[in-house]
């Protein structure tokens, strides 16, 4: 036999440990399912969507989809009735999901996550439509979704963080116009946010519509850069909320920082804050009057994963398990 029984048992144990360590909602008792996607035909499927389609509706088991290196030219949708899926490459530079579509913000995404309890690791997700209009690379409309070490690349509306609670760790996100948008509660930790704008393109367009909504974007310990000049954000919703903390901002960030999108009424309703950011683009002296230089007390609610209620559904990934799983992926 190509694989011994002990090897299969060890592989399964690793998958269970890694998957449960990434997203922890209610503990699942059933066995984990491992599916392999390989364009060469050596896996269970040659397309990512085919692997997702194989997961039963109303799924209640951990499903780990391992994607072997390759350029996967397909639109991918994780339906709302298929939770508990993890999709993992080995590294984003060699595991690329790409499509070329523009127009409607909800129809154009290369990759759409509608399910809860979803994880993506080490993938590039890109939309190559260009600068002619809205072209979403990643849409996340499910609750409790986490992304580790992913590259998310387009020009306009790159990442539609639509609804739900989301966590992005060590991700690279690139675009030019409103390229992180939506009304999710999203925490970006140690991410690199890169603007392609050559004028006053906005990095964020957060859509919070009322002060009762517990949504907003928090950038914690991030690197904010750009090719020329960019704004930190503008309000898609009247109560738009965006906070940058402990983040480096390059000189690409314009001194005013923010824009009101032609509606001065939002000056009294938006919540745009900075806390202990640094770099030439972080200087507050020329910021718009409604930008906030947060005190420690004001910043406190945004400085941990509690902002997205993470204690109930996410915990850190044990290094020994991730290394072990990646070895399994390399062998299979």
Please name every residue paired with 219 in a beta bridge, in sequence order, or none if there are none: 188, 244
Cβ(118)–Cβ(142) under 8 Å?
yes
User: If you search the block for the tokens 């579509």, which residue do you land on?
Assistant: 101
Q: What pLDDT does residue 75 have?
A: 98
Active site includes 178? yes
Model confidence, pTM: 0.90
- Per residue in 116-174, pLDDT (tens digit) is 999 999 999 999 999 999 999 999 999 999 999 999 999 999 999 999 999 999 999 99
- Per residue in 29-49, pLDDT (tens digit) is 456 899 999 999 999 999 999
Domain ranges of the chain: 5-331
Tokens representing 171 are 């991700």
Quick one: which H or E segment has residue 324?
helix 319-331
Q: Residue 307 — φ and ψ, nearest 5°?
A: -60, -30
Q: What pLDDT does residue 3 have?
A: 39
User: If you search the block for the tokens 């392999």, which residue do you land on?
Assistant: 36
From first to last of the 332 residues of the chain, give the pLDDT tens digit.
333 434 343 444 444 444 444 444 444 545 689 999 999 999 999 999 999 999 999 999 999 999 999 999 999 999 999 999 999 999 999 999 999 999 999 999 999 999 999 999 999 999 999 999 999 999 999 999 999 999 999 999 999 999 999 999 999 999 999 999 999 999 999 999 999 999 899 999 999 999 999 999 999 999 999 999 999 999 999 999 999 999 999 999 999 999 999 999 999 999 999 999 999 999 999 999 999 999 999 999 999 999 999 888 885 444 444 554 566 555 65
Please name every residue paired with 275 in a beta bridge, in sequence order, or none if there are none: 245
What's the burial of 97, exposed, middle or buried (CB within 10 Å: 0-12/13-18/19+)?
buried
Q: Which of 117, 157, 162, 326 is catalytic?
A: 157
Q: Residue 153 — φ and ψ, nearest 5°?
A: -135, 130
Q: Virtual CA dihedral for 45, 35, 163, 60, nearest 10 degrees?
A: 130
Quick one: which H or E segment has residue 218?
strand 216-220
Q: How far apart are the first and last CA of the chain?
A: 14
Quick one: which H or E segment has residue 232?
strand 229-233
Q: Which of 178, 259, 260, 306 is catalytic?
A: 178
Active site includes 117? no
Q: Identify the CATH homologous superfamily for domain 5-331.
A: Single-stranded right-handed beta-helix, Pectin lyase-like (2.160.20.10)
Q: What pLDDT does residue 32 have?
A: 80
- Per residue in 186-197, pLDDT (tens digit) is 999 999 999 999
User: If you search the block for the tokens 């530079």, which residue do you land on?
Assistant: 93
């Amino acid at each position: 036999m190509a694989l011994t029984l002990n090897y299969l048992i060890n592989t399964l144990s690793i998958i269970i440990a890694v998957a449960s360590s990434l997203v922890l909602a209610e503990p699942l008792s059933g066995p984990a399912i491992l599916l392999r996607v390989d364009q060469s035909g050596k896996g269970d499927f040659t397309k990512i969507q085919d692997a997702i389609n194989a997961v039963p509706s109303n799924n209640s088991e951990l499903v780990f989809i391992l994607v072997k290196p390759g350029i996967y030219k397909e639109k991918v949708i994780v339906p709302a009735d298929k939770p508990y899926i993890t999709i993992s490459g080995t590294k984003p530079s060699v595991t690329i999901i790409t499509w070329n579509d523009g127009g409607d913000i909800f129809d154009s995404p290369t990759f759409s996550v509608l399910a809860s309890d979803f994880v993506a690791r080490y993938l590039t997700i890109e939309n190559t439509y260009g600068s002619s209009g809205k072209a979403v690379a990643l849409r996340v409309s499910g609750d409790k979704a986490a992304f580790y070490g992913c590259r998310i690349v387009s020009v306009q509306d790159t990442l539609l963080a639509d609804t739900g609670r989301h966590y992005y760790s060590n991700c690279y996100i690139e675009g030019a116009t409103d390229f992180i948008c939506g009304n999710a509660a999203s925490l970006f930790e140690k991410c690199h946010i890169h603007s392609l704008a050559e004028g006053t393109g906005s990095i964020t367009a957060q859509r919070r519509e009322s002060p009762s909504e517990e949504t907003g974007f928090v950038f914690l310990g991030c690197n904010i850069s750009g090719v020329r000049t960019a704004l930190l954000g503008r309000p898609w919703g009247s109560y738009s909320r965006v906070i940058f903390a402990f983040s480096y901002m390059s000189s690409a960030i314009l001194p005013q920082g923010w824009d009101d999108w032609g509606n001065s009424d939002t000056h009294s309703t938006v919540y745009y804050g900075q806390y202990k950011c640094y770099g030439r683009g972080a200087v507050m002296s020329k910021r718009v009057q409604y930008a906030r230089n947060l005190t420690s007390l004001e910043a406190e609610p945004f400085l941990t994963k509690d902002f997205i209620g993470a204690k109930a559904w996410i915990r850190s990934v044990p290094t020994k398990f991730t290394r072990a799983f990646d070895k399994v992926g390399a062998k299979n």
